Amino acid sequence: MNTKAIQALARAVIESEAAAISALAERIDAQFIAACEAMLACKGRIVVIGMGKSGHVGSKIAATLASTGTPAFFVHPAEAGHGDMGMIKAEDVVLLLSNSGETDELNAILPPLKRLGVPLVAMTGNPTSTLARHAHMHIDVSVAKEACPLGLAPTSSTTATMVMGDALAVALLETRGFTKEDFARSHPAGALGRRLLLHIRDIMHKGDEVPQVNEAANLSETIVEVTRKRLGMCAITNNQQQVIGVFTDGDLRRALNSAIDPHTTPISKVMTKGGKNISPDALAIEAVQMMQEYRIQGLLVVDAEGKLQGALNFQDLLTAGVV
């Protein structure tokens, strides 16, 4: 095995595909803008159609569009000719992918698509092809050469098509004002979804699970409450259930290092006054940021009036998959 030859071949592929991508910048023209306008005005969905490698790329483009605020799905052209044309409605926009622009399976469904009256956007490597001529809008994704040394395997051409698909998706995303929160709603099972959709109220401890003592309690009683609830802290509240302080494991260590009687020392003498807290309506990721900023392991949850609503610690955030 010639290691240097393998390295040279791999680098040549990367350089060839990089050059193909770079050339695409000049193709962001009036046709690209018209395609974006048609997709933005679409009342239905973007239907992506491609055969072979273009089909695989098309599936990815459809998935990217759908996850970034532009409803889309992929239809196999051969299946379209055997019933799946019924999935395409007049209010849709069809995006047709073919490097040659002469793919038989795509050209075969051009007449029924024309009769349906849907806007057709073609993405090909041949601006004079049948597909390009019959489409309402054509986006040129031609490449100077394939990265394959035989010039046969779709390599640079599929990369160029995928990148142009990304350009469409991102242009539409920005124009729609699509946000991180919108993205998270499309990815509820992912880490981003958990970080942007999960609120404190969804994961906090509530009711009897929350360690709490009245400000009149002594240190000994508070230690028992901390131990029993096992959150590493305890809320200190007044008679109106408002949080006036917090007692943590750190406070306990400092108290035990002092010459005090835990049975007679009021908790108000050794607690941390005020303490850090968070609203139940805040995002869970905000709790992560607070804990990291203040180097603490837990937070009390309070409402707008400062009344205790719950508590959570870093382990709760780990369990919820926010961290």
Could you give the CA distance from residue 207 to residue 205 in angstroms, rounded to a whole number?
7
Query: What whole-number percentage of the chain has pLDDT above 90?
Result: 80
Q: How high does pLDDT run on average in the chain?
A: 92
pLDDT at 111 over 90: yes
Helices (H), the chain: 3-23, 30-41, 53-67, 77-80, 104-108, 110-116, 130-134, 156-176, 180-186, 191-197, 200-203, 219-229, 249-256, 267-270, 284-294, 314-319
Q: Within 48-94, where are the H helices?
A: 53-67, 77-80
Q: Which of 287, 269, 285, 267 is nearest to 277 (CA)?
A: 287
Contact 322, 299 (CB under 8 A): no
Q: How far apart are the first and last CA of the chain?
A: 45
pTM of the predicted model, to two decimals?
A: 0.68
195 within 8 A of 273, measured Cβ to Cβ: no
pLDDT tens digits, 239-260: 999 999 999 988 988 888 887 8
Domain architecture of the chain: domains with CATH: 3-178 (3.40.50.10490), 200-319 (3.10.580.10)
Nearest to 132 by CA among 106, 155, 166, 163: 106
From 192, 188, 191, 299, select the one nearest 243 (Cα to Cα): 299
Could you tell me the pLDDT band of residue 93, with boundaries at 50, 70 and 90?
A: very high
Model pLDDT for residues 151-202, shown as the tens digit of each residue: 878 999 999 999 999 999 999 999 998 777 767 666 666 666 666 678 999 9
Residue of 160, 150, 149, 134 whose CA lies nearest to 21: 160
Answer yes or no: are the C-beta atoms of 127 and 140 closer than 8 Å: yes
User: Tokens at residue 170, please?
Assistant: 């991102």
